[in-house]
Structure 1
Amino acid sequence: MTSRFTELSVDCHDPERLAAFWCEVLDYKVIDRGEDMVEIGSWEPTVEGVRAGSMPPTLVFVQVPEGKTLKNRLHLDVSPIDAGTEDEVTRLLGLGATRADVGQGPDRSWVVMADPEGNEFCVLRSLAP
């Protein structure tokens, strides 16, 4: 008996804004909406796809009243697929991300950033050919 990682939930103030940001970052689309939530993904979830384990998890942005107070203990890592890391960082800055300092120190091969609500994520090495 096993389980599948099907979605990652992100608490936030403005689910629509964060969903729009992450759709641009990941080339995802909105696949579900509720009163206080927006789910995005690269595919339409089906029981068969989830069972096969071949589909990436979706992201669910859920509206909560409290704000972010500390560094995230869990964060996303992204790797550019058609540009260099610095070009991708520039693109993400244009979408509303900011550079973040979480104590990572100098001379790292990744760049720590924050989404429009301050959730940290890392831009890793480029996977571009």
Structure 2
Amino acid sequence: MTSRLTEIAFDCADPAALAEFWCAALGYVVVDAEEQVVEIAPSKVPDAELVEAFRRGPADPSLIFIQVPEGKSAKNRLHLDISPVDCTHAEEVARMESLGARRADLPRAENQSWTVMLDPEDNEFCVLRSLAPGEFSL
């Protein structure tokens, strides 16, 4: 027996706005939206096809943004790491800033290859090294 990671849930104040940010950041689309819950995924796939894809093996999980009354009170214990695929690390950090993210005010190690950022609701995420052709190195 086994399970698959199918969804990652975010508590937030404004599901639609946070979903809009992450759609722009990841190239995802809204697949379901209600007043207090918005789900985004890599593409709109009928539920039956998506279930079959997960049964065959790991697939990209959807992100679900759920409105909650309380605000964020501490550092996240879990965060997303993203890697640019068609630009440099610096260009991706600048793009995230243009979408409404900001750099976290944390000390940076001398050889640190990632940038810690905050989404519009202060959820931490990291922009890792670029996977773009000619940019990737171990």
The TM-score bracket by the shorter chain reads over 0.9
- For 1:33, the equivalent position in structure 2 comes to 33
Highest CA radius of gyration, 1 or 2? 2
| Structure-2 residue corresponding to 1:119 | 123
Give me the whole-angstrom Cα distance separating, in 1, the residues matched to 2:72 and 2:125: 14
Task: For 2:53, give the aligned amino acid.
Answer: G
How many percent identity over aligned positions? Answer: 57
Picking from 96, 106, 110, the partner of 2:109 is 106
Regions of 4+ moved over 3 Å: none
Work out whether residues 114 and 126 of structure 2, in 8 Å CA contact, stay in contact via their aligned partners in 1: yes
- Structure 1 unaligned segments of length 5 or more: list them: none
Partner of 1:105: helix, strand, or coil?
coil
1-structure distance, mates of 2:109, 2:51: 44
1:14 pairs with 2:14 = yes
- What RMSD, in angstroms, separates the aligned Cα atoms of the two structures? 1.2
Deviates more, 1:104-113 or 1:11-20: 104-113
Shift of 1:106: 2.5
Moved more, 28-37 or 109-118: 28-37
